[in-house]
Amino acid sequence: MSSVVSYEIINNIGVIKVNNPPVNALSQAVREGILKAVQAAQNDSSEAIVLLCEGRTFIAGADITEFGKPPMAPSLPEVLGAIESSSKLVIAAIHGTALGGGFEVSLACHYRCAVPSAKVGLPEVKLGILPGAGGTQRVPRVAGVKAALEMITSGDPISAKKAGEMGLIDEVLGSEDLQKEALAYARELVNSGAKLKRIRDINIDPATIEPGFFDNYRKQVAKRARGQIAQDRIVSCVEAAVGQPIDAGLEVERKMFMELVSSPQSKAMRHAFFAEREAAKIKDLPKDTAVRDIKKVAIIGSGTMGGGIAMCFANVGIPVKLVELSAEALERGLGVIRKNYSITVQKGKLSEADMEKRVGLITGTTSYDDIGDVDLVIEAVFENPDVKKEVFGKLDAVCKPGCILATNTSYQDVNMIAEATKRPQDVVGMHFFSPANVMKLLEVVRGDKTAHDVLATVMQIGKKIGKVCVLSRVCYGFIGNRMLAGYGRQAHMLLLDGATPTQVDSAAEKFGMAMGPLAVGDLAGLDIGYKARQALTDVVHDPKTHCVASALVEMGRLGQKSGAGYYKYDPATRARQPDPEVDELIKQKAAELGISRREISEEEIIDRLFFPLINEGARILEEGIAQRPGDIDIVYLYGYGFPVAKGGPMCYADQVGLKKVVDRIVEFGEKLGKDYWEPAPLLVRLANEGKTFADWAKENA
């Protein structure tokens, strides 16, 4: 057939096997191979046809490297047409994950069977597109409109068992022996005279859909879509599956698929997909760098971060020793961990037994002598350089040679911390985000002397505990928090210049941020920044950048935890409400600083919040703090709630156009003063050359 698809007859059943490692993606050669095999099988001695895959999975989706390139025949719909109109039964036999185009191939088959461990799903929405080969038409015909919408708008895969209950799988096989079980199932179908079941022939009766159902669903998905358009188009496609022949619905699906695939959103989401994979690679590290074995871990400090980090390791079965100053602090920390796990149990997402297993892996001590045998230590004590240095001195004394010594510091100089030991090559930053057991980002901070194998090990263990790792060099705040400074500063200055907290946060949320900057401050607690500012006695703070926040803290308004901050919070629902008292405070502070407040447009809010991120990102790139613009994007997508539909701040800059970004920064400099509005040299150079950050990434790969 072709190098990636084979065909043979076994016991009178034609067996088409796809073998296109690693995930049997639907490349042109795979499409052509399947088409030819189905055609050949029409005229041979086979009584039915089984389609299955070699390797670790059934077809796991389209070949996304073909996106954006001219289409190559045969198209997927053509292949599906040939399968569906086959005169002999075609049975898909699924193992691993049948995703996207792969699952759509199976839906064109007359029957689907799957081994018990298999999963199926339509994850296209996660790349800003929709299933473009009949998924939106065939799933509702089998599983019903509501179940189809849930499956396709979430993009989450489902188990073979669930798919069986929904009718999407006809037979969950008795064992994991795919070929044997599938051939037996095919034989059974042939012997029982099973009919050619074509999903396309099913009609969805409009009378079965409540009036207004689709409009309501559209509103519901819009709330969680954060500006993504694909969800809305999916609803339209499923709506088009109701009460009309499938070809009419397929036409709608094709049209909307084409619209989405060329949309900036989908381009941004594909960028994010590739950037995430790329971020895992450290440019100057030899591929074969050996990694150290991590079997036991110690965490120093069981506060907000230490507890969450301990959970990350316990979740993957790695035992953790928590080191604290006192028995009381330890008890408190362990108590919070247990409470967090029990919330997950209450939600039905973890069994009691698994919770006990995980809690059992975390033990406490107040003596550093108990951690001499661990392979990795992560320090999460108070953010104070002297305390950190003291802790690393102790670690140096007790830890075995080769143990990796990591710090979770948000701002401190990792090189300085490393120098507190006699083994700076073993010291590295592992900057988790709060809540550490939930947030996916891990900034891996490379000190000047950090050894290659330490970096490779930390990137690997980070992945093992479910994090997306991004490498950063040492600077104040590393990649994420260093960039955030300008964003937070502008949020505050916009208030003084005339915006209300609601205006600032709503604009950011309309842009797609999970939460606006001031609301985030209220959630985290305004006292955290307040204390940090007080601790930095040698830094002169610009009063324009913190006076409202500081005044709020001094009024006892610490944010959500005290029921009020930039907003008032409803004690029952935690819903935020604007507070006239805050509006008054802002006016008063602006007057004290001699600022005359004015109307601020939404466009100004967006540009003043997000262009500083881009500008600082450009500096970070130029200084070699981040390896690539895509790494910066991943930091923002996974650590700061930046909307994936915009691909991250650097991708967003490319889509806006770097010239426009520079012009606007210059304009703000003229209007607002140059203190915070000097365009970064790299940004200016790229804009002048008509280039993008993506071009820079290619040139510096």
Min separation Cβ 548 and ligand NAD, Å: 21
Of the candidate spans 165-173, 178-186, 321-329, 466-474, the one that interacts with ligand NAD by CB under 6 A turns out to be 321-329
Of the candidate spans 24-32, 297-305, 656-664, 693-701, the one that interacts with ligand NAD by CB under 6 A turns out to be 297-305
For ligand NAD, the closer of residues 409 and 450 by Cβ is 409
Min separation Cβ 505 and ligand NAD, Å: 20
C-alpha distances in angstroms, 332 versus 253, 304, 319, 352, 547? 55, 11, 19, 21, 34
Tell which one of 129, 230, 268, 305 touches ligand NAD (CB under 6 A).
Answer: 305
Restricting to residues 378-417, name those near ligand NAD by CB under 6 A: 380-383, 387, 391, 408-410
For ligand NAD, the closer of residues 237 and 330 by Cβ is 330
Among residues 8, 54, 66, 104, the one annotated as catalytic is 104
User: Where do we find the tokens 């002297």?
Assistant: 386
Burial status of residue 339 (CB atoms within 10 A of its CB: 0-12, 13-18, 19 or more)? exposed
Min separation Cβ 421 and ligand NAD, Å: 15
Restricting to residues 414-433, name those near ligand NAD by CB under 6 A: 432-433
Min separation Cβ 323 and ligand NAD, Å: 5
Tell which one of 306, 629, 641, 648 touches ligand NAD (CB under 6 A).
Answer: 306
Of the candidate spans 66-74, 255-263, 288-296, 377-385, the one that interacts with ligand NAD by CB under 6 A turns out to be 377-385
For ligand NAD, the closer of residues 125 and 442 by Cβ is 442
Judge contact between 279 and 630, C-beta under 8 A: yes
Tell which one of 33, 301, 629, 641 touches ligand NAD (CB under 6 A).
Answer: 301
The dihedral sign for the CA sequence 80, 82, 85, 91: negative
Calpha distance 505→138 (Å, rounded): 41
Tell which one of 104, 171, 324, 607 touches ligand NAD (CB under 6 A).
Answer: 324
Min separation Cβ 194 and ligand NAD, Å: 59
Calpha distance 606→491 (Å, rounded): 10
b/e burial code for range 235-256 (CB count within 10 A of at least 16 → b) = bbbbbbbbeeebeebbebbeeb
For ligand NAD, the closer of residues 58 and 638 by Cβ is 638
CA nearest neighbour of 134 among 28, 249, 234 = 249
Binding mask 329-348 for ligand NAD (x = CB under 6 A): x-------------------
Calpha distance 208→541 (Å, rounded): 64
Min separation Cβ 435 and ligand NAD, Å: 8
For ligand NAD, the closer of residues 10 and 535 by Cβ is 535
Q: Report the SS3 class of residue 323.
A: strand
Of the candidate spans 323-331, 441-449, 492-500, 503-511, the one that interacts with ligand NAD by CB under 6 A turns out to be 323-331
CA nearest neighbour of 620 among 518, 479, 445 = 479
Of the candidate spans 180-188, 221-229, 303-311, 601-609, the one that interacts with ligand NAD by CB under 6 A turns out to be 303-311
DSSP type of residue 75: P
Beta strands per DSSP E along 531-649: 568-569, 576-577
**Which tokens belong to 133?**
């080969």
Calpha distance 450→429 (Å, rounded): 9
User: Where do we find the tokens 């901050």?
Assistant: 565
- Annotation says 124 is catalytic: yes
Among residues 124, 239, 253, 616, the one annotated as catalytic is 124
For ligand NAD, the closer of residues 57 and 408 by Cβ is 408
The contacts of residue 605 (CB under 8 Å, 6+ apart) are 494, 499, 503, 504, 507, 508
Tell which one of 258, 325, 438, 536 touches ligand NAD (CB under 6 A).
Answer: 325
For ligand NAD, the closer of residues 91 and 519 by Cβ is 519
Judge contact between 291 and 455, C-beta under 8 A: no
Min separation Cβ 571 and ligand NAD, Å: 24
CA nearest neighbour of 284 among 396, 437, 451, 64 = 451
- Measured in whole angstroms, the distance separating CA 449 from the mean position of its chain's CA atoms is 31
CA nearest neighbour of 495 among 565, 577, 589, 560 = 589
Binding mask 121-140 for ligand NAD (x = CB under 6 A): --------------------
Length of the chain: 701
Q: Report the SS3 class of residue 384.
A: coil
Min separation Cβ 324 and ligand NAD, Å: 5
* Angle between helices 501-511 and 517-524 in degrees, nearest 10: 110
Min separation Cβ 301 and ligand NAD, Å: 3
Min separation Cβ 7 and ligand NAD, Å: 55
For ligand NAD, the closer of residues 137 and 437 by Cβ is 437
Tell which one of 13, 143, 323, 405 touches ligand NAD (CB under 6 A).
Answer: 323
| DSSP H or E stretch at residue 238 | helix 230-239
* Neighbouring-strand partners of residue 321: 298, 363
For ligand NAD, the closer of residues 97 and 409 by Cβ is 409
Judge contact between 389 and 411, C-beta under 8 A: no
For ligand NAD, the closer of residues 171 and 379 by Cβ is 379
**Which tokens belong to 124?**
């296209």
- Annotation says 54 is catalytic: no
Instruction: State the residue number with the nearest CB to ligand NAD.
Output: 303
Taking the C-alpha atoms of 352, 357, 358 and 359 in order, what is their torsion angle to the nearest 10 degrees?
80
Min separation Cβ 412 and ligand NAD, Å: 7
The dihedral sign for the CA sequence 123, 127, 133, 136: positive
Min separation Cβ 303 and ligand NAD, Å: 2
Burial status of residue 603 (CB atoms within 10 A of its CB: 0-12, 13-18, 19 or more)? exposed
Tell which one of 304, 500, 506, 550 touches ligand NAD (CB under 6 A).
Answer: 304
Calpha distance 3→281 (Å, rounded): 30
Min separation Cβ 454 and ligand NAD, Å: 19
In this structure, what are the phi and psi dihedrals at residue 73, rounded to the nearest 5 degrees? -70, 150
For ligand NAD, the closer of residues 6 and 304 by Cβ is 304
Restricting to residues 635-694, name those near ligand NAD by CB under 6 A: none
Taking the C-alpha atoms of 298, 301, 307 and 312 in order, what is their torsion angle to the nearest 10 degrees?
-30
CA nearest neighbour of 616 among 680, 541, 692, 694 = 680
Tell which one of 15, 26, 242, 300 touches ligand NAD (CB under 6 A).
Answer: 300
Of the candidate spans 153-161, 324-332, 482-490, 659-667, the one that interacts with ligand NAD by CB under 6 A turns out to be 324-332
Please work out the total of residues on this chain that contact ligand NAD, with binding judged by CB under 6 A. 23
For ligand NAD, the closer of residues 80 and 311 by Cβ is 311
For ligand NAD, the closer of residues 387 and 555 by Cβ is 387
Catalytic residues: 104, 124
| Binding-site ranges for ligand NAD (CB under 6 A) | 300-306, 323-325, 329, 380-383, 387, 391, 408-410, 432-434
